[in-house]
């Protein structure tokens, strides 16, 4: 463990911009809606309505359970935000750890460091300290920020439990990633595996919160809610999770000492192909090959998660029948479509936002290839820039359609099996089709940024996350409708709660096409960077 402090300083220096941006924006995401709470749930009536809605199986599956004997704002905030905040903190930890381990190894930066008089474990030690430090800073920021808004029932003791729960949960996923990077061969593979673990544990929690307490405890995302912030303020579940983190970190050190740099412990699959297969043909074949892994993995994840959401529809039916407040909200005597339609719409909206992720990564593929210095060789071959770009545009349309189809299919197949009065397939298809326009719009936006502002690709991600926040919270917190319309997902009508309209749909698709065309013009004129 020589010189880990020196290595840590090098890392901090390299990330002196990106780390503060990460930490501040994640912290902002986690606390930003605290001051908004009293406005939407100020009166006891408002609280009762909100709580009734949030106690529905669909909401419990999506974000977590409602606990305690009174519906205080603190408890409702925890249910609404803690799981999604934990997901974001987890993604941050995964990306930071991969960047400083596998990412460095892939680009040969670590060899330079290893040549310095540093021990073999020093680098891993520095990354561990960095990770713990990031989560600690995040915890302190949130712990101080949350109670300082002075919202009723969001007190200091509860806030510290809440913040520490997020910090330790982030640390858990960072530690899992530290183990993963010892096993796999590339940065991309490590990120993918990290996200698979995250997604799996999210689904396990959703299942657990709806129907199995044991399953919920096994998933850290379920465990952290069982600290009951602002109610029981229990610390001991976090102690268990911290212990798991320590075990994982020790495992990472042991595995690290067993492997060579640049290699993973799990044997590399494939290889041995002396010739390219038939599909690796031309620039389009290459493009597909480059996005194939991500798209297939994401497609499977969307299908499974959507099926998971579909599985709560049976409980949802029973809940609606036994909840007078909910019935009143939806309109009494309404048919299946009226009652569960809005739920279908809410769940498939989440799936559409997820579906926009592979669309955006595909739109950014040209940029990513440039960044890794691989576009130069391809463009020096007789490859037209416009054809290459057009190929990606075509892929984006296919991926967007595929994601919506997978989401709708996964949802409907399971939902129709568990419901006594199944939601008609027509409803699911129209909802997915409706949100598809927003997914396509993100494809156009991504292509535009690639072509015209290749250094601002982060803008697309930021817009997607903000869209998610606004749409997710806006639906529950009664944000004015026009606020939601600032995002593509809010711009389309919320059918079936709102009447269907073609105009926003056509407008979004047309906007996406225009952005893509402008992007093509930019891409045709600019330097490869």
Partner 1 sequence: MTDSTISLTGIVKNFGRVRALDGVDLQVGPGQIYGLIGPNGAGKSTMIRILLAILRSDAGHATIFGQDVWKQAVDIHRRVSYVPGEVNLWPNLTGGEVIDLFVRLKKSGDSRYREELVSRFDFDPTKKCGTYSKGNRQKVALIAAFSTDADVYILDEPTSGLDPLMEMVFRECVREVAAQGKTVLLSSHILSEVEHLCDRVSIIRQGRIVDSGTLAEMRHLTRNQVLVEATGALDGLAGLDGVHDLALVPGGAEFHLDNDHTASVMAYLAQAGATRLVSTPPTLEELFMSHYQG
The smaller minimum CB distance to partner 1, of residues 418 and 528, is found at 528
| Among 4, 23, 37, 106, interactor with partner 1 by CB under 8 A | 106
Binding segment toward partner 1, per CB under 8 A, in 35-43, 282-290, 405-413, 472-480: 282-290
The smaller minimum CB distance to partner 1, of residues 100 and 185, is found at 185
CB of 189 to partner 1, least distance (A): 9
User: Is the distance from CB of 497 to CB of 430 less than 8 angstroms?
Assistant: no
Position 517 contacts partner 1 (CB under 8 A): no
Position 270 contacts partner 1 (CB under 8 A): yes
DSSP 147-193: HHT--TT--HHHHHHHHHHHHHHHHHHHHHHHHHHHH-SSHHHHHHH
CB of 273 to partner 1, least distance (A): 5
Binding segment toward partner 1, per CB under 8 A, in 227-235, 310-318, 343-351, 378-386: 378-386
Name all contacts of 50-56 with Cβ < 8 Å and 24+ positions apart.
50/76, 50/476, 51/76, 52/323, 52/325, 52/326, 52/329, 53/326, 53/329, 53/476, 54/79, 54/80, 54/476, 55/319, 55/323, 56/316, 56/319, 56/320, 56/323, 56/326, 56/343
Position 280 contacts partner 1 (CB under 8 A): yes
Look up residue 247 and give its two tokens. 């075990």
**Residues contacting partner 1: total by CB under 8 A:** 40
The smaller minimum CB distance to partner 1, of residues 9 and 524, is found at 524
| Among 257, 373, 503, 521, interactor with partner 1 by CB under 8 A | 373
φ, ψ for residue 501, nearest 5 deg: -135, 135
**3 state DSSP class of 255:** helix
Position 502 contacts partner 1 (CB under 8 A): no
User: Is the distance from CB of 459 to CB of 354 less than 8 angstroms?
Assistant: no
Position 481 contacts partner 1 (CB under 8 A): no
Cα(182)–Cα(98) distance, integer angstroms: 10
Position 114 contacts partner 1 (CB under 8 A): no
DSSP state of 267: P
Position 456 contacts partner 1 (CB under 8 A): no
Look up residue 262 and give its two tokens. 């640049």
Look up residue 421 and give its two tokens. 């009065």
CB of 375 to partner 1, least distance (A): 8
The contacts of residue 407 (CB under 8 Å, 6+ apart) are: 302, 303, 306, 348, 351, 352, 354, 355, 432
Binding pattern for the stretch 182-211 against partner 1, x by CB under 8 A and - elsewhere: ---xx-------------------------
Angstrom CA distances, 279 to 206, 292, 297, 383, stand at 39, 12, 19, 17
User: Is the distance from CB of 147 to CB of 159 less than 8 angstroms?
Assistant: yes
Position 381 contacts partner 1 (CB under 8 A): yes
CB of 184 to partner 1, least distance (A): 11
CB of 225 to partner 1, least distance (A): 39
Position 363 contacts partner 1 (CB under 8 A): no
CB of 394 to partner 1, least distance (A): 18
Binding segment toward partner 1, per CB under 8 A, in 11-19, 375-383, 435-443, 457-465: 375-383
Between vectors from CA 129 to CA 203 and to CA 5, what angle results, nearest 5°? 160
H or E stretch at 73: helix 73-98
Position 290 contacts partner 1 (CB under 8 A): yes
Position 281 contacts partner 1 (CB under 8 A): yes
The smaller minimum CB distance to partner 1, of residues 16 and 275, is found at 275
User: Is the distance from CB of 365 to CB of 391 less than 8 angstroms?
Assistant: no
| Among 18, 212, 321, 384, interactor with partner 1 by CB under 8 A | 384
User: Is the distance from CB of 239 to CB of 177 less than 8 angstroms?
Assistant: no
CB of 292 to partner 1, least distance (A): 10
Position 276 contacts partner 1 (CB under 8 A): yes
Position 115 contacts partner 1 (CB under 8 A): no
Look up residue 504 and give its two tokens. 């926003």
Position 283 contacts partner 1 (CB under 8 A): yes
| Among 2, 14, 234, 289, interactor with partner 1 by CB under 8 A | 289
Cα(316)–Cα(435) distance, integer angstroms: 22
Position 527 contacts partner 1 (CB under 8 A): yes
Position 274 contacts partner 1 (CB under 8 A): yes
Chain residues binding partner 1 by CB under 8 A are 106, 185-186, 262, 268, 270-277, 280-283, 285-286, 289-290, 293, 372-385, 525-528
């Amino acid at each position: 463990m020589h010189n880990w402090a020196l290595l840590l300083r090098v890392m901090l220096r390299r990330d002196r911009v990106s780390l503060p941006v990460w930490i501040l924006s994640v912290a902002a995401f986690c606390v930003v809606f605290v001051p908004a709470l009293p406005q939407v749930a100020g009166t006891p009536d408002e609280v009762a309505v909100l709580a009734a809605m949030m106690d529905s199986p669909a909401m419990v599956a999506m974000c977590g359970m409602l606990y305690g004997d009174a519906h205080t704002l603190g408890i409702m905030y925890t249910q609404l935000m803690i799981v999604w905040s934990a997901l974001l903190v987890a993604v941050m930890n995964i990306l930071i750890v991969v960047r400083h381990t596998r990412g460095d190894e892939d680009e040969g930066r670590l060899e330079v460091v290893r040549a310095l008089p540093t021990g073999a474990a020093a680098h891993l030690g520095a990354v561990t300290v960095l990770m713990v430090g990031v989560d600690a800073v995040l915890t302190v920021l949130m712990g101080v920020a949350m109670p300082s808004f002075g919202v009723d029932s969001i007190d200091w003791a509860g806030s510290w439990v809440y913040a520490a729960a997020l910090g330790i949960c982030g640390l858990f996923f960072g530690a899992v990633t530290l183990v993963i990077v010892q096993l796999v061969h590339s940065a991309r593979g490590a990120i993918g595996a990290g996200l698979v673990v995250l997604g799996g544990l999210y689904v396990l929690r959703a299942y657990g919160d709806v129907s199995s307490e044991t399953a919920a405890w096994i998933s850290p995302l379920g465990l952290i809610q069982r600290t009951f912030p602002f109610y029981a303020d229990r610390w001991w579940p976090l102690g268990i999770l911290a212990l798991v983190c320590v075990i994982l970190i020790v495992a990472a050190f042991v595995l690290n000492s067993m492997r060579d740099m640049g290699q993973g412990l799990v044997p590399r699959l494939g290889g041995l192909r002396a010739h390219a297969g038939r599909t690796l043909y031309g620039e389009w074949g290459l493009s597909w090959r480059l996005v194939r892994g991500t798209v297939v993995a994401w497609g499977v994840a969307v299908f499974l998660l959507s099926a998971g959401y579909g599985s709560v529809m049976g409980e949802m039916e029973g809940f609606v029948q036994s909840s007078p407040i909910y019935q009143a909200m939806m309109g009494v005597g309404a048919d299946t479509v009226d009652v569960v339609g809005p739920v279908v719409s809410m769940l498939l909206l989440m799936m559409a936002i997820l579906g926009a992720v592979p669309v955006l990564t595909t739109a950014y593929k040209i940029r990513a290839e440039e960044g890794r210095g691989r576009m130069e060789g391809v463009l020096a071959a007789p490859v037209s820039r416009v054809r290459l770009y057009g190929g990606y545009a075509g892929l984006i349309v296919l991926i967007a359609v595929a994601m919506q189809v997978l989401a709708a299919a996964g949802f409907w197949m399971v939902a129709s099996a568990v419901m006594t009065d199944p939601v008609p397939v027509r409803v699911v298809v129209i909802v997915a089709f409706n949100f598809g326009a927003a997914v396509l719009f993100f494809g156009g936006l991504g292509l535009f940024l690639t072509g015209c502002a290749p250094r601002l690709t982060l803008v697309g991600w930021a817009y997607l996350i903000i869209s998610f926040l606004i749409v997710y919270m806006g639906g529950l917190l009664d944000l004015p409708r026009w606020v939601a319309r600032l995002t593509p997902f809010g711009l389309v009508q919320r059918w079936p709660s709102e009447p269907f309209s073609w105009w926003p749909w056509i407008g979004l698709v047309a906007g996406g096409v225009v952005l893509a065309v402008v992007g093509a013009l930019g891409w045709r004129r600019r330097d490869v960077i």
